[in-house]
Amino acid sequence: MEKIERELEIPNESLEEIVEGKTKLIVPKKSITEKVPPKEPAFFNPRAKLNRDLSVIAYASFLKNFGGPKIFLEGLSGLGARGLRVANELQIDRVVINDLNPTALKMAEYSAGLNNLKNIELSEKEVCRFFSSYSKKGERGSIVDVDPFGSPAQFFDCAVRATMHGGVLSVTATDLQVLNGLFQNACKRKYGGVPVRVGYGNEMAIRLILGCLRSVTGRLGVSMTPIFVESDMHYYRTYVRILNRPDQEENIGYILHCKNCGNRKATLQQIQKCELCQSENKVAGPLWIGRIFEKAFIEEMIRQIPDFQVEKSCEKILQKCLLESNMDTTYFTLDEIASKLKTSPPKLQDIIENLEKNGFASSPTSFCPTGFRTNADIRQIMELFS
């Protein structure tokens, strides 16, 4: 382990030992007691445990079927909670966690000692300098993780270069206001596309992130395939497989949304008029319009759950991901349907069963507890429930 030659800048009484999953972590007490975890002396968000639980399950699923060197690179580790869990709970050869905060790295070093970890290294570099030092063939990571404050887009290029052929790149975005349409110009600058403010805005945001990633991988002559995505109140997270070959598929396009009737459609080209009511479409994109879940990967994640100490909600989330893995782009919500019908919302299971009885495909969605996917259009849905 590379030594960080500085003492902690805070007294030990301001630290606390906790256990997350199967891993002991040293964290600032204020990150546990205060509503908004402070960034100093080191950032730790206890509410992101579900995020880390799902990443451990996802990485375990990937590693099970991966024959190359098992190397985890984390560019913005904070005090190293995710990287420490990966080193301690997974069968992995080498974990390298990087951060510019020496106090956070010192805390990570303490935590590594508590867990008797020998497979972890610490790095104190600017994130793109860190990833660039692992960008040569034979030195890249099989799992590369980017979890910044705000937008991850500025790190896409160096992170892709640091991911080996067949490896997984995972990125987190927390600039939700930008991705959800409050700052359209900022979204266009950062992600190359614009959203429309809609009820399924979290899915649109994730597709904007994936679309931006796809443009970077396309420029670098490699391809990316989404295998798992997740959305929570304060973050969006995507997992993609990187392959060292050009992407020949047409998977960047637009989501058309009619504000008048509520019809929505994913297309390769912009279409100005709604096909149902001929009103003007609002156009979101360019963004990713392909699949966002890989069914076989989600099935493997579900099989991995009993091997880990994770939140019970992980399985519920993944079961929904499995059901929606082959469904159409974008989802509807019960409130949206009820508002148009001027009635109380139907039960989710009732609406799904009714759609299926009438020959349509339908499933719940992991993006929203009252959301559902279907290949029926808004007019067909309304006719069934009017």
Mean pLDDT of all residues in 76-85: 97
Q: What average pLDDT does range 48-61 have in this prediction?
A: 97
Q: What does the pLDDT look like over 130-139, one tens digit per residue?
A: 999 999 999 9
Contact 73, 141 (CB under 8 A): yes
H/E segment holding residue 122: strand 120-123
For residue 136, the SS3 value is coil
Task: Provide the token pair at 335.
Answer: 């409130």
- pTM of the predicted structure, to 2 decimals: 0.95
State the pLDDT confidence band at 5, using cuts at 50, 70 and 90: very low
- Long-range (24+ apart) CB contacts under 8 A made by 2-9 are 2/121, 2/122, 2/123, 3/109, 3/122, 4/102, 4/105, 4/106, 4/109, 4/122, 4/124, 6/102, 6/103, 6/106, 7/106, 8/41, 8/103, 8/106, 8/107, 9/41, 9/103
Ranking 30-39, 291-300, 315-324, 366-375 by mean pLDDT, the lowest is: 30-39
Q: What does the pLDDT read at residue 350?
A: 93
Residue 3 binned pLDDT confidence (cut-offs 50, 70, 90): very low
Binning pLDDT at 50, 70 and 90, where does residue 6 land?
very low
CATH of 12-252, one of 3.40.50.2300, 3.40.50.150, 3.40.50.300, 3.10.25.10: 3.40.50.150
> In the predicted model, is pLDDT for residue 7 greater than 80?
no
Q: Which DSSP letter does residue 279 get? A: P
Q: What is the mean pLDDT of residues 159-187?
A: 97
High-pLDDT (> 70) share of the chain, %: 97
Residue pLDDT, tens place only, 206-215? 999 999 999 9
pLDDT at 13: 77
In the chain, what are the domain boundaries? 12-252
Residue 8: predicted pLDDT: 52
DSSP 114: H
Share of the chain above pLDDT 90, in %: 90
SS3 content of the chain, % helix, strand, coil (to 5): 40, 25, 35
